[in-house]
Amino acid sequence: MPYSVIADGALRPSGFAPAADALSIIRLPIPDPGSAPGAKAAATYLSAPVSNSALGPPRTLAILPGGSRALVLSTRGPAPESAASIGDLPPGGLLSLVDLSGNSPFTAASIDLGPRVSSLSLNRAGDLAVVARSTPDLNELVFVRIDPSALSIATRIPFTDVKPGPGVALGSAMFSPDGAALAVTVLGEDAVFFLRLIRDQGILGIRAWGPPVRVGNFPFNGAWSGDGRHFFTCDLNWGKPGAYDLINAPPGGLSVIRLRDEDAPESAHVLTSQVAVGVGNEGLAVSPLGADADHDLLAIGNLRRSFLPASDPRFTRGGSFNLVTVDRRTGEARVLGEWPCAAGPQGLAFDARGEALLVPDFEDGALQVWRIAREGASARAAFTGVRIGVPQGPHEVAIIP
């Protein structure tokens, strides 16, 4: 899709050539792009046609253990020939298992989970995925069993903690690092619900794990800390689902929740910190720091208002990202700074050592490579000048170590 679609909804503006959705696999290391202004690295990449979507939280791509397979969730169906606007896209719910092992990646299996899905998460073992889904009449968690070349629905569990309706939707459902718990962000309730996963003789179930925790408005995206002791939400301050206003939204926020100890049933999860970040803060990446680190390092990708026409007085050139550090002992968050970057940096990702940050450029069809220098509990970012050329509209990126 063109980047301007966020502002005007037009899928085929004048001069834009539509193309089919795809998954690109970029081979590392990245070649030197040279010193010419705006040069893009001619990286070697493979491409596979896979239905996906830039509409929804950037939580629709997951790499299975071993790196030879990927899961891709499509939140909208492919555009019909007659489609002219976002409203013409059919609701989607296709989950695809993509084989990345050879030089010709292909879809090994797919399953239709039903319309109005929002996010995908994979457990640590790589044998179970959870997809959040909301319709006007039902909020549910769909658990999908993953076999080497097959996908099947393990169970569908209605999310009954909130009443369904036009003002309520599940934002994201994310497995904890050990796969034993789930965190579910709920739009319209501005809260995070925590659940324990129950497995009994092949039967899956869930039970509440403490009371829900109120966070900021429109918690669109969420992620766990590496040690599983904290959960983070990106609070976009867009208003109510179905009537939200991303164009005129104020700066967003980051909320930090400290999880109670499992052996302390009388204690509750605690909101430990809230800080202000950039406008349109859809992106959230957690650096893969070691278990012995004192702080977590987060990158928050902000759309700002870069999708508006340049003639609009609210227009900003490009997006930005914040670096935020969170004390693992106290849960206190501290914003280290905001760096202007590519337009549409939703699905950004740290590399395997946390020393680089890949930032999608939705508008220009590229990935920016930023260097991250950590200094104790602090960190700073610097653009390397390297841009990797990819097809139009990259929405999410993941690293295979």
Is residue 352 in a domain? no
Nearest alpha-carbon partner for 116 in 138, 98, 99, 97: 138
Is residue 73 in a domain? yes
Is residue 247 in a domain? yes
Q: Residue 266 — left, alpha, or beta (φ > 0 → left; ψ -120 to 50 → alpha)?
A: alpha
pLDDT tens across the length of the chain (401 residues): 888 888 899 998 888 888 889 999 998 888 777 777 777 877 778 899 999 988 888 999 999 999 999 999 999 988 888 899 998 999 889 999 999 998 899 999 999 999 999 999 999 999 999 999 999 999 999 999 999 899 999 999 999 999 998 889 999 999 999 999 999 999 999 999 999 999 887 789 999 999 999 999 999 999 999 999 999 999 999 998 878 888 999 999 999 999 987 666 667 899 999 999 999 999 999 999 876 789 999 999 999 999 998 899 999 999 999 999 999 999 999 999 999 999 999 999 999 999 999 999 999 999 999 999 998 889 999 999 889 888 889 999 999 98
Is residue 74 in a domain? yes
Residue 287: Cβ within 10 Å count = 23
Residue 13: Cβ within 10 Å count = 11
Q: In what order do the strands lie in the sheet with 270-276?
A: 219-224, 230-235, 253-258, 270-276
Is residue 222 in a domain? yes
Is residue 205 in a domain? yes
Is residue 385 in a domain? no
Is residue 176 in a domain? yes
- CATH code of the domain covering residue 113: 2.130.10.10
Predicted confidence at residue 266, as pLDDT, reads 63
Instruction: Give me the domain span that covers residue 35.
Output: 5-279
Predicted confidence at residue 262, as pLDDT, reads 65
Nearest alpha-carbon partner for 237 in 290, 303, 193: 303
Q: How many domains does the chain have?
A: 1
Is 234:220 a contact under the CB 8 Å cutoff? yes
Which amino acid is located at 207 in the chain? R
Return the H-helix or E-strand segment holding 5: helix 5-8
